[in-house]
Amino acid sequence: MQGIIEYLVSLNLPLLTEGTARFLVLLVVASIVAVVAPASLIILTWLERKIIARIQDRIGPNRAGPFGLLQAVADMIKMFTKEDITPARADRIVYNIAPGLAVFSSVMSFAVIPFAPGFVGTRLNVGLLYIVAVGGLGTLAILMAGWSSNNKYSLLGAFRSVAMLLTYEIPMVMMLVIVAMAAGSMSLADIVDAQRSMWYAVSMPVVFLVFFFAGIAEVGRSPFDLIEAESEIIAGFHTEYSGIKFGMFMIGEYVHMFALSFFSAVLFFGGWHIPFMDVTALPAPWAAIIGLIVLLVKVFFFVFVMMWFRGTLPRFRIDQLLDFGWKFLVPLSLVLLIGVAFVVKLFSPGSSAGIPVPPGPLSGLGIAGEVVGLLVVNLAIAGLAMAVVSALARRSRNKVLRAISAVEPPAAVTAQSKP
């Protein structure tokens, strides 16, 4: 990027100083990301319909273009040409801002993603916090849409989404804290570099699973798609939206899902790193190209997993969903946080980020020791969690069984006492 800026300055055009050249290059790159991210909707919806169709033993779209590839284009044209309806007593301004905010919040999260070696959006040293902060704006958009539609089903959908996001944001943030602890940085590019020798998904599988489930809930996809449960609350918060405004909510959801896949790949699956090969050591253009391909393969794997979930899993009930969040994921993530912090300190190689810290007692074992330690702690906590959950389930089931057996059938007693 510095090369392009220097070239532009060397042209010696009027108005084209170092500052404006930098501004122009950043503007162009930002526009590309901001356009490509929503445009991914075209591929993602086609992929989703095809995959779900295959899971349900159907063929899926196959009329428009080869393999039905143009189906999404046709859908977009349909959406653009549909009538734009605003409910009679809707809160007009808020109603119209909400879809834009939904797209805005999900596209914004692409600003910090490291796409390939040397091709990083913004090297923000608070990248992880930025992800959480921008994600929160999506909730705001849902709440605004639900409230301003002046429809009780919309409002119910919005209330549900806030309860759900509040629940699942806690384990999600805790897992991000664990990643930051292990990598010693909150910048996404640094986290990718820290996984050069071993992916975090290998050394901390439980952390990854909690992150991924909480992430799916945060995106509001199946099996956590209660905010738009058709059988209960019509379409949830976007019941009243039509045409392109509905389309914008759809873009928001798909881009959010795409972003979650990127975060899973970058934070836990080593970004552009692959085992037994150093991608960054390749000659200049190839490092970036191969790195981007490797990352995209991982990203589309997670996209596929989420579609697979949608095709195979039934929807949670709202009480099950909140129970799963508060009574299982939150305690589990607290224990994980303590366990991982302990291991990281145990194997800490000493001073990090320029701060003098005494090395941990087991630092001699190096990175391999840390990986094994993290893995052992993760598996131990997972086993413990399963044991506790099954013991509690057995206890509550026995309680119900006792209650049933304690009740005598009253009909039989009265029948005998009668003369």
Stretch of 51-59, 141-149, 260-268, 395-403 contacting another protein, by CB under 8 A: 141-149
Scanning 36-44, 79-87, 119-127, 364-372 for contacts with another protein by CB under 8 A, the matching segment is 119-127
Residue with Cβ nearer another protein (314 or 356): 356
Query: Applying CB under 8 A, which of residues 69, 74, 76, 129 lies at the interface with another protein?
Result: 129
Hey, which residues does 277 pair with through a beta bridge? Answer: 274
Q: Is residue 25 a contact point for another protein (CB under 8 A)? A: no
Structure-derived torsion over alpha carbons of residues 343, 348, 353, 358, reported in degrees to the nearest 10:
120
Q: Are 254 and 40 in contact (CB under 8 A)?
A: yes
Question: If 0-12 CB within 10 Å is exposed, 13-18 middle and 19+ buried, where does residue 280 land?
Answer: middle
Residue 19 engages another protein in binding (rule: CB under 8 A) = yes
| DSSP at 363 | G
Stretch that binds another protein, among 130-138, 220-228, 283-291, 383-391 (CB under 8 A): 130-138
> Does the protein bind another protein through residue 134 (CB under 8 A)?
yes
SS3 state at 187: coil
Q: Is 124 in the site for another protein (CB under 8 A)?
A: yes
Q: Give 119's strand partners.
A: 116
33-92 binders of another protein (CB under 8 A)? 91
DSSP state of 364: G
Other beta carbons within 10 angstroms of residue 84's beta carbon come to 11
136 lines the binding site for another protein (CB under 8 A)? yes
- Minimum CB separation of residue 132 from another protein in Å reads 5
Residue numbers 374-403 binding another protein by CB under 8 A: none
Nearest distance from C-beta of residue 266 to another protein, angstroms: 18
Q: Cβ contacts of residue 46 below 8 Å, gap of 6+?
A: 61, 68, 69, 71, 72
The answer to whether residues 205 and 381 touch, using CB atoms and an 8 Å cutoff, is no
Half-sphere exposure of 419 (CA within 13 A, CB side): 0
Residue 20 interacts with another protein (CB under 8 A): yes or no? yes
> How many other C-beta atoms can be found within 10 angstroms of the C-beta atom of residue 302?
22
Nearer to another protein, 284 or 353 (CB): 353
Q: Quick one: which of 133, 338, 380, 393 contacts another protein (CB under 8 A)? A: 133
Identify whether the C-beta of residue 212 lies closer than 8 Å to the C-beta of residue 264. yes
Pick one of 30, 47, 140, 274: the residue that binds another protein (CB under 8 A).
Answer: 140
- Of 179-208, binders to another protein (CB under 8 A) are 186
**Considering only residues 315-354, where is the footprint of another protein by CB under 8 A?**
353-354
Q: Which listed residue (95, 110, 115, 147) binds another protein by CB under 8 A? A: 147
Q: How many secondary structure helices (H) and strands (E) does the chain include? A: 16, 2
Q: Which CB sits closer to another protein, 309 or 326?
A: 326
Binder among 46, 95, 130, 200 for another protein (CB under 8 A): 130
Burial of 50 (0-12, 13-18, 19+ CB in 10 A): buried
- Give me 70's structure tokens: 């143009």
Measured from the CB atom, is 71 or 139 closer to another protein? 139
Tokens of 187: 């910048």
Rounded Cα distance, 218 and 220, in Å: 5
Q: Which residues, 6+ apart, have CB-to-CB distance to 150 below 8 Å?
A: 87, 88, 89, 90, 91, 240
Site membership for another protein, residue 139 (CB under 8 A): yes
Q: How far is the CB of 353 from another protein (least distance, A)?
A: 5
Is residue 94 near another protein by the rule CB under 8 A?
Answer: yes
Q: Which of 104, 119, 159, 304 binds another protein (CB under 8 A)?
A: 159
State yes or no: residue 219 binds another protein (CB under 8 A): no
Measured from the CB of residue 148, what is the shortest distance to another protein in angstroms? 8
Three-class secondary structure assignment of 89-142: CCCHHHHHHHHHHHHHHHHHHHHHCEEECCEECCCCCCHHHHHHHHHHHHHHHH
Q: How far is the CB of 91 from another protein (least distance, A)?
A: 7
Q: Binding to another protein by residue 355, rule CB under 8 A?
A: yes
Does 137 interact with another protein (rule: CB under 8 A)? Answer: yes
Residues that bind another protein (CB under 8 A): 15, 17-20, 91, 94, 124-126, 129-130, 132-134, 136-137, 139-140, 143-144, 147-148, 159, 162, 166, 169, 186, 353-355
